[in-house]
């Protein structure tokens, strides 16, 4: 495809990447393998569309995490700045809209807030807020949260919303048994709580956006705004996201979707990889391209990964290849138990660090969260710096308190925020007083209590004024100082220093939004804090990363450890008990994702015995290990006895 006068930005692309960049009109399906340069392809495609004479603001690009959206946004900005033809004699003064689906939803709902009778500063319930509201709804209905887990109701409601079903629609259908009848009651109370607080939950950000786009006039406005649409990680879309993309692309049909069926691992949260399988049926004139050249991993890693995923049937055929070196064999450690396994991981990681490897280039991946505890203990004993990915910075108690002061000031009906801060720091406000305030009886207060509440309300008003007149970082500083939080944590000699460090870090984060117009910056800042994901925490500290495989999606490291490779653990017991073909294949995709995170070397481990739920369990190796050719395996502590029959399944023993 090379021509003599080919632009320089095309010369850095391989042939399929270049085809994807040049195919700007009509529907385009890009099946991009792990490490195949999909972000580079999308960003260069955006540059090419602009160089064809299209306005940057006519381009929409959607991905799934703030981290990947931020990276894509930065790379697009850099490409536009560096293109001399675009920036001389005048520079580009507008940019494409690059965001996550949820951020897109926030923007569209704010632009049409009157459609839903919402204020511009509507609240956003995170998972903790939703769980608390559902628990409160259950208690109001006399349903015991101890015997009926709130998370189960939350998950069910979330799946319904992700499938495009509103409460009204669910409530009008015939319930299937007692559970659905109970869900309908809890859901009604939950929706009432959201409405009272003028708030939406994460699923509403998508569902409400879909409802907006089902209005013909609103749909036409957005179709005319965004004529070129890019959707990354298309295999991870749920029904609502799929419908949103289809509606937006309905007029111009210039939709480019990028994805990899082999990396579809989120069915439990409603993702449907069949969306990418049906793309060519949805768009009859679609062009399909394969990106199979991997720029990340060694040949050994890719050969093993290809072998693992080839056993899946529900996929589109593709075979990753690389021009990188062969690289090391896959290391396999056979541990006596979980402590032995954890010690091996910590010991080997420590050795890598002593050899000059940066701790942040080492990741330990596991199938289930409970596996992290013993690994953490081993890291502590070995004095190995580590970071546990999964505890979100913005969900820490002290951080939520600062944010609730700002959110409560901007949205006085956000009861969950006001409840969080009314007595933090302690103001001597009792439960009876709080009940009166939140049930509309504040006017009945008298004396000293009334003065305390008036002083608190006055503080919130000052914060509101600051939010409308100064930069976000100054707002955060004002809250920390004038709320009393700073003094409170200074007085706490045990946890105080770390909590102070965290709320001061919030100021640093807020400075990133100081460049926006006054008022807009605080909105963007609060949106970022509400929609952050586990991956946004990855670069915060220098240390070996400990995380689930699900959390590792989209990341890459030089050295990867994968523990717990036992039948029933990984693949999980759910798929081992011959559940569905789809469950079984998703477990295999999960292992494929874990393998393809590595650039240089993979260490695998399994335990011959593991304690689960207080019982000692004798294990057999995961079927995934058996799928790896012997020529690719390096045993860390000697090969197992060839005469041992590992095919008998799991044996449960109680000690």
Residues labelled catalytic: 38-39, 232-233, 263, 597
Q: Taking a C-beta distance cutoff of 8 angstroms, is the pair 624, 575 a contact?
A: no
Query: What single-letter DSSP state applies at residue 358?
Result: -
**Measured in Å, how far apart are the chain's first and last C-alpha atoms?**
67
With 0-12 CB in 10 A as exposed, 13-18 as middle and 19+ as buried, what is 488? middle
- For 562, list phi and psi in degrees, rounded to 5: -125, 110
Q: Are strands 330-335 and 362-366 parallel, antiparallel or unpaired?
A: unpaired
d(CA 430, CA 618): 54
Q: Taking a C-beta distance cutoff of 8 angstroms, is the pair 612, 51 a contact?
A: no
Q: Taking a C-beta distance cutoff of 8 angstroms, is the pair 197, 223 a contact?
A: no
Q: In terms of DSSP H, where are the helices of 468-595? A: 472-482, 485-491, 496-511, 520-530, 549-552, 573-576, 581-595
d(CA 647, CA 283): 46
**Residue 328 contacts by C-beta under 8 Å, 6 or more apart in sequence?**
298, 300, 600, 601, 634
Which residue from 438, 449, 440, 443 is spatially nearest to 415, judged by alpha carbons? 438
Radius of gyration of the chain from Cα atoms?
A: 27
Q: Which long-range contacts (CB under 8 A, 24 or more apart) does 109-112 make?
A: 109/200, 109/205, 109/208, 109/209, 109/212, 110/523, 112/212, 112/218
Q: Taking a C-beta distance cutoff of 8 angstroms, is the pair 559, 600 a contact?
A: yes
Place of tokens 């951020």: 103
Helix (H) and strand (E) counts for the chain? 29, 18
199 three-state secondary structure: strand
**Residue 432 contacts by C-beta under 8 Å, 6 or more apart in sequence?**
none
**Residue 147 contacts by C-beta under 8 Å, 6 or more apart in sequence?**
none
How many Cα atoms sit within 13 Å of 64 on the Cβ side?
21
Where does 55-204 show beta strands of DSSP type E? 59-63, 97-100, 123-125, 199-201
β-partners of residue 60 are: 97, 229
Place of tokens 């057999």: 620
């Amino acid at each position: 495809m090379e021509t003599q006068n080919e632009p320089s930005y095309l010369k850095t692309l391989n042939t399929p990447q270049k085809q994807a960049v040049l195919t700007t009109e009509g529907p385009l399906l890009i099946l991009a393998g792990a490490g195949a340069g999909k972000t580079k392809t999308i960003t260069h495609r955006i540059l090419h569309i602009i160089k064809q004479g299209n306005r940057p603001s006519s381009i929409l690009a959607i991905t799934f995490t703030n981290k990947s959206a931020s990276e894509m946004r930065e790379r697009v900005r850099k490409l536009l700045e560096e293109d001399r033809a675009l920036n001389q004699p005048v520079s580009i003064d507008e940019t494409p809209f690059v965001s996550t689906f949820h951020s897109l939803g926030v923007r569209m709902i704010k632009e049409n807030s009157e459609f839903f009778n919402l204020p511009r500063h509507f609240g956003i319930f995170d998972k903790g807020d939703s769980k608390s509201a559902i628990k409160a709804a259950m208690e109001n209905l006399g349903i015991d949260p101890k015997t009926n887990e709130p998370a189960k109701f939350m998950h069910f409601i979330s799946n319904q919303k992700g499938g495009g079903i509103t409460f009204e629609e669910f409530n009008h259908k015939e319930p299937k048994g007692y559970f659905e009848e109970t869900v309908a009651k809890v859901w009604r109370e939950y929706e009432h709580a959201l409405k009272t607080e003028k708030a939406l939950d994460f699923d509403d950000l998508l569902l409400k956006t879909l409802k907006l786009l089902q209005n013909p006039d609103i749909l036409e406005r957005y179709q005319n705004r965004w004529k070129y649409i890019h959707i990354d990680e298309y295999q991870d879309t749920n029904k609502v996201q799929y419908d949103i993309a289809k509606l937006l692309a309905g007029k111009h049909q210039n939709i480019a979707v990028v994805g990899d069926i082999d990396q579809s691992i989120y069915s439990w949260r409603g993702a449907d990889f069949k969306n990418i399988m049906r793309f060519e049926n949805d768009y009859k004139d679609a062009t399909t391209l394969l990106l199979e050249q991997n720029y990340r991993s060694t040949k050994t890693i890719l050969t093993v990964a290809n072998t693992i995923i080839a056993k899946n049937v529900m996929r589109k055929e593709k075979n990753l290849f690389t021009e990188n070196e062969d690289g090391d064999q896959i290391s396999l450690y056979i541990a006596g138990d979980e402590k032995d396994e954890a010690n091996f991981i910590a010991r080997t990681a420590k050795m890598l660090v002593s050899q000059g490897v940066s701790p942040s280039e080492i990741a330990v991946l596991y199938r289930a969260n409970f596996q992290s505890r013993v690994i953490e203990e081993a890291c502590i004993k070995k004095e190995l710096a580590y970071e546990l990915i999964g505890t979100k910075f913005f969900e820490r108690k002290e951080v939520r308190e600062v944010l609730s002061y700002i959110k409560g000031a901007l949205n006085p009906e956000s009861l969950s925020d006001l409840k969080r801060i009314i007595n933090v720091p302690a103001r001597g406000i009792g439960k009876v007083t709080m009940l009166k305030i939140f049930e509309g009886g504040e006017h009945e207060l008298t004396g000293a209590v009334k003065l305390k509440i008036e002083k608190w309300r006055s503080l919130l008003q000052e914060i509101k004024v600051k939010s409308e007149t100064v930069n976000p970082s100054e707002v955060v500083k004002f809250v920390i100082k004038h709320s009393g939080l700073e003094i409170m944590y200074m007085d706490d000699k045990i946890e105080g220093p770390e909590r102070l460090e965290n709320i001061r870090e919030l100021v640093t984060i807020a400075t990133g939004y100081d460049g926006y117009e006054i008022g807009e910056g605080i909105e963007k800042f609060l949106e970022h804090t509400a929609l952050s994901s586990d991956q946004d925490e990855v670069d915060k500290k220098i240390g070996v990363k400990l995380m689930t495989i699900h959390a590792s999606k989209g990341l890459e490291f030089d050295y990867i450890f994968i523990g717990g490779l036992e039948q029933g653990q990984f693949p999980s017991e759910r798929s081992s008990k011959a559940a569905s073909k789809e469950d079984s294949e998703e477990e295999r995709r999960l292992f494929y994702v874990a393998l393809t995170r590595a650039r240089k070397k993979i260490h695998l481990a399994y335990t011959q015995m593991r304690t689960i739920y207080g019982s000692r369990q004798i294990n057999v190796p995961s079927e995934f290990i058996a799928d790896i050719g012997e020529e690719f395996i390096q045993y860390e502590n000697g090969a197992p006895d060839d005469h041992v029959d590992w095919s008998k399944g799991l044996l449960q023993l109680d000690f």
